[in-house]
Structure 1
Amino acid sequence: MTQATWTRRHLLSLATFTPWEYNTVLQTANSFREVLSRRTKKVPTLQGQLVTTLFFEASTRTRSSFELAAKRLSADTLNFTPGSSSLSKGETILDTAKTYLAMGTDIMVIRHQQAGVPQAIAQEMDRLQTQVRVLNAGDGHHEHPSQGLLDLFTLCTALDAQKPQLEVLRGKKIAIVGDIAHSRVARSNLWSLVASGAEVHLAGPPTLLPLAFKDFVKDFVTPAPDPGNPGSTLPVQVHWALEPALVDADFVMTLRLQQERMGQHLLPSGREYHQHYGITRDRLRVCNPQVKILHPGPVNRGVELSSEVMDDPALSLVPHQVTSGVAVRMALLYLLGSGR
């Protein structure tokens, strides 16, 4: 049997990911997780290559994770800080990217508050016929593919630590709770979880989970705003009440509630949100007894999650997500950088 070769040049979205690509990322990340457990955590895989992080939007976890992943692969790194850059002097984003291209960048990791910026830079790199690969580290409300993949890796390793693969999630019930309408994390997770065959339930306030959201997943979503209506057997269901999404759930993925949503009058307060949608130990009683909790961070304690849930190692996979992030991003840089 011939071995397949990684051919994806850029990683901009999970919408067109194939099961083989998902499993390749999972298996490669699992190999790098073993590397990270050694005393010597560095491998020479990308030695001589330059990884540039172009973060036009503030980030702690994602940026640090990509930087550490690049260094663990022995790549050189360059960091872009918009506040002290030539953007303040009128330089365009594409000109900034071409400046780093001229410095010899091999891989650009890009985050921007506007959707489509990583795609625009990737198109420009291709138009110039460069060999630069572009990795989307989060763009507006569009997608956050590396977060979706590390969440997928966390879920799969929780079920099978030795051989994480897409198929282990088939038939599992996964609830995603919170500000789904504005979440790039939720969008990336939807693509991967539906591909796995999991049963996905979305829950949130009507202002943060409007029925129009079904247009995004129109091929496999059915709205179920009535708590008494379980909806159809399609793999994604939408609820405006929390409990139907939690009943018998194997995993609950909570999303960060951004404070600006209250300024936009989409929510009265964080306290009221917690009363109706916050995850507490009591609310988890309707879930599978072995339920596990995920959150992309940073967590607003007492809003999305209670502290007792957040700090309970028997419930929370949040620390595992952070650890998984380095291994998954090593895998992505390796696959894009080596094409193997």
Structure 2
Amino acid sequence: MNITKFDSSYTPQLKHLLGIDKTSQLDLEFIISKSLEWFDKNKNIPKKFDVLRGKTQINLFFEPSTRTQSSFELAGKRLGADVINMSLKQSSVTKGETLIDTAVTLNAMKPDLLIVRHHSAGAAELLSQKVDCSVINAGDGSHEHPTQAILDTLTILHHKKRIEGLKIAICGDILHSRVARSNLLMLSMLGANINLVAPTTLLPMNIDKFKVNIYNDMREGIKNVDVIMMLRLQNERMLSSYIPSAREYFRYYGLDEEKLSIAKSDAIVMHPGPMNRGVEIDTSVADNVQSVIKDQVEMGVAARMAILEILSMR
């Protein structure tokens, strides 16, 4: 995929955004096109629009979040929506209410958009079956994080001007990462060549079904790649020890300047956050000129503005 103007006559077929695997390539490319438009508009002042005026957006987060929740809140407010943030502590789930009961209660309030993050895979899809409004999956367990994959694709497009044919290494805790799964699905769909780099203990058992290259040696996995996407160790999802120690992990799988030199000289470094400096990435790499981590945050707002706008069209 290259950066092109999308056919303005196309009408997206989306009611929800539940996962990359449930979204057509045409709809994803339309989202990307719209996101690039919002990225350009966000460079100018004013940054307030009337696209969602009169619409209500509820951000329902059952897991801690800084980047994603703030990004959705800012996106909704820039588009003129009334935004309500609900965390686990504010919900009746802490009192024993089921997810379905929560959905029924929220549906009675007649929101237009519901953004959901939950620790269980499939939670967003379950909610989408119980409410009348559009549901956006902001991360469901280790399953998917579609908006992260979209903003990552946008960031790569911005810097590399294409996706097709690029060599992209996704490194780290693949097993527990919803970001890895969504990016793998999306970037492969758009023609990228994907290397997955991780110790055997942090690779899913069924990874062979994907058309990817698997590396246990990081130096081999990032050799001559265009993009390096680092992932954090998700200790909160680990029920047992998957690595000897953080220090040992950094020695073999942490991205430092020496390992970065093995990639292409113009390779970009990405990370979905939050970063564990000194574990999966060295500070000297996270903050150097090849790092586009801050750009990912900026692209996240544009991507979520586009998604909110598109889902409000129906």
TM-score normalised by length of structure 1 = 0.87
SS of residue in 2 equivalent to 1:151: helix
Post-superposition offset of 1:7 = 1.3
Aligned position for 1:49: 55
Are residues 1:213 and 2:239 paired?
A: no
Aligned CA-pair RMSD = 1.5
Are residues 1:176 and 2:170 paired?
A: yes
The whole-number CA distance in structure 2 between the counterparts of 1:107 and 1:39 is 26
SS of residue in 2 equivalent to 1:108: strand
Q: 1:338 to 1:262 in 2, by over 3 A?
A: closer
1:71 maps to which of 77, 83, 108: 77
Asked if the contact 1:69–1:326 (Cα under 8 Å) also holds between the matched residues in 2, the reply is yes
Paired residue total: 308
Asked if the contact 1:209–1:240 (Cα under 8 Å) also holds between the matched residues in 2, the reply is no
Asked if the contact 2:272–2:293 (Cα under 8 Å) also holds between the matched residues in 1, the reply is yes
CA displacement, residues 268-324 of structure 1 (integer Å, 9 cap, x when unaligned): 111111000001111112211101000000100011111011111x21010000000
Aligned position for 1:290: 266
Asked if the contact 1:42–1:71 (Cα under 8 Å) also holds between the matched residues in 2, the reply is yes
1:103 maps to which of 106, 109, 123: 109
SS of residue in 1 equivalent to 2:200: coil
The whole-number CA distance in structure 1 between the counterparts of 2:283 and 2:22 is 37
The whole-number CA distance in structure 2 between the counterparts of 1:2 and 1:169 is 22
Are residues 1:25 and 2:19 paired?
A: no
Are residues 1:85 and 2:78 paired?
A: no
Asked if the contact 1:180–1:186 (Cα under 8 Å) also holds between the matched residues in 2, the reply is yes
Q: 1:25 to 1:262 in 2, by over 3 A?
A: closer
Aligned position for 1:316: 291
Post-superposition offset of 1:16 = 3.6
Aligned position for 2:3: none
TM-score normalised by length of structure 2 = 0.94
Which one-letter code corresponds to 1:272 in the other structure?
E
Are residues 1:264 and 2:270 paired?
A: no
5+ long unaligned stretches in structure 1: 161-167, 222-235
The whole-number CA distance in structure 1 between the counterparts of 2:185 and 2:102 is 31
CA displacement, residues 32-67 of structure 1 (integer Å, 9 cap, x when unaligned): 112211121011001000010111111111000000
Aligned position for 1:336: 311
Are residues 1:277 and 2:270 paired?
A: no
Aligned position for 2:100: 94
Aligned position for 2:226: 250
SS of residue in 2 equivalent to 1:34: helix
Post-superposition offset of 1:260 = 4.2
Q: 1:63 to 1:18 in 2, by over 3 A?
A: same
Are residues 1:142 and 2:135 paired?
A: no
The whole-number CA distance in structure 1 between the counterparts of 2:62 and 2:237 is 21
SS of residue in 1 equivalent to 2:202: coil
The whole-number CA distance in structure 1 between the counterparts of 2:41 and 2:106 is 30
Which one-letter code corresponds to 1:133 in the other structure?
S
Q: 1:109 to 1:261 in 2, by over 3 A?
A: closer
Asked if the contact 1:262–1:268 (Cα under 8 Å) also holds between the matched residues in 2, the reply is no
Indicate the larger mover: 3-12 or 83-92. 83-92
Aligned position for 2:198: 204
The whole-number CA distance in structure 1 between the counterparts of 2:156 and 2:220 is 21
What percent of counterpart residues are identical?
Answer: 42
CA displacement, residues 105-157 of structure 1 (integer Å, 9 cap, x when unaligned): 111000000101111011122xxxx3x00000000010000001000111111
Q: 1:11 to 1:276 in 2, by over 3 A?
A: same
Aligned position for 2:4: none
Aligned position for 1:233: none
Asked if the contact 1:261–1:267 (Cα under 8 Å) also holds between the matched residues in 2, the reply is no
Which one-letter code corresponds to 1:196 in the other structure?
L
Post-superposition offset of 1:263 = 6.6
Q: 1:87 to 1:332 in 2, by over 3 A?
A: same
Which one-letter code corresponds to 1:291 in the other structure?
A
